[in-house]
Amino acid sequence: MKIALIIENSQAAKSEIVHTALKTVVEPLGHSVHHYGMYTPEDKASLTYVMNGLLAGILLNTKAADFVVTGCGTGMGSMLAANSMPGVFCGLVIDPTDAFLFGQINDGNAISMPYSKGFGWAAELNLQDCYRKLFENERGVGYPKERAAIMAKNRGILKDVKAASCRDLLTVLKTVDQDLLKAAVSGEKFQELFFTNCQDDAVAAHIKGVLAS
């Protein structure tokens, strides 16, 4: 699984803590982590939580990533921004129980975490425990198990509702403020990571045009 990590500007100083915790857990499980930034508070490309959502939508809809890990001060803003995008189902994960239940019940494709609120002593251990509960277990099997069938049915219904209420990604990218989009995709390693893994030629062509403008 290709897991994308996206950190916004207010939490960029914690980027390496989050990145290391994620890699420590998921790489032994056979997953890869693609860090889309931010890397330090001094990065030229500064990501807001709204841009986090845009990037999550781009990466998941083009299959450049299979799962997105993001966050902000409380985790709320990045979660809301991600869920505004087509095809993105992002949960707010604060502790390992959240991670386990989100994986078992909702089986979404993104999580947002608080990297300021409650981020105190041994915070990296909480991050690792959350990632273990999410990625070590088969997702979508239900909890409690006897409700697995209805939970799977409701996930399918939600996907249908989301598809009906959202426009396709390319239309979204052509309609949003192009300066906002350019800022979101101008990160230090975005082109290296995204264009290598993107499986949607039309979206890739539009983003190349935005970057060249």
Question: Which pLDDT value is given to residue 46?
Answer: 96
pLDDT at site 105: 97
For tokens 């790489």, the residue is 27
> Side by side, which strands form the sheet with 90-92?
32-35, 2-5, 67-72, 110-114, 90-92
Query: Whole-angstrom Cα distance, residue 15 to residue 5?
Result: 9
| Integer angstrom CA distances of residue 75 from 126, 144, 148, 163, 191 | 15, 26, 27, 24, 26
The rounded distance, in Å, linking the Cα atoms of 136 and 38 is 26
C-alpha 47/C-alpha 40 separation (Å) is 11
Q: Which residue has the tokens 């995709």?
A: 185
Burial of 128 (0-12, 13-18, 19+ CB in 10 A): middle
Q: How confident is the model at residue 140 (pLDDT cuts 50, 70, 90)?
A: very high
Q: Which of 101, 99, 109 is nearest to 162 (CA)?
A: 109
CA-only gyration radius of the chain, Å? 17
Residue 22 pLDDT level (bands cut at 50, 70, 90):
very high
For the stretch 47-94, pLDDT in tens is 999 999 999 999 999 999 999 999 999 999 999 999 999 999 999 999
Per-residue pLDDT, 138: 92
Whole-number Å distance between alpha carbons of 157 and 150: 10
> Are the C-beta atoms of 193 and 36 separated by less than 8 Å?
yes
Mean confidence (pLDDT) of the chain: 97
- Please report the pLDDT score of residue 180 as a whole number: 97
Fold classification of 2-212 is Ribose 5-phosphate Isomerase B; Chain: A, (3.40.1400)
Both tokens of 200, joined, read: 């949607």
Residue 202: which pLDDT band, with cuts at 50, 70 and 90?
very high
Q: List alpha helices for the chain, DSSP H.
A: 15-26, 49-61, 76-83, 96-101, 123-135, 148-165, 169-175, 178-184, 190-197, 201-212
CA distance 116 to 127: 13
User: How far is Cα of residue 71 from the mean position of the Cα atoms in its chain?
Assistant: 8
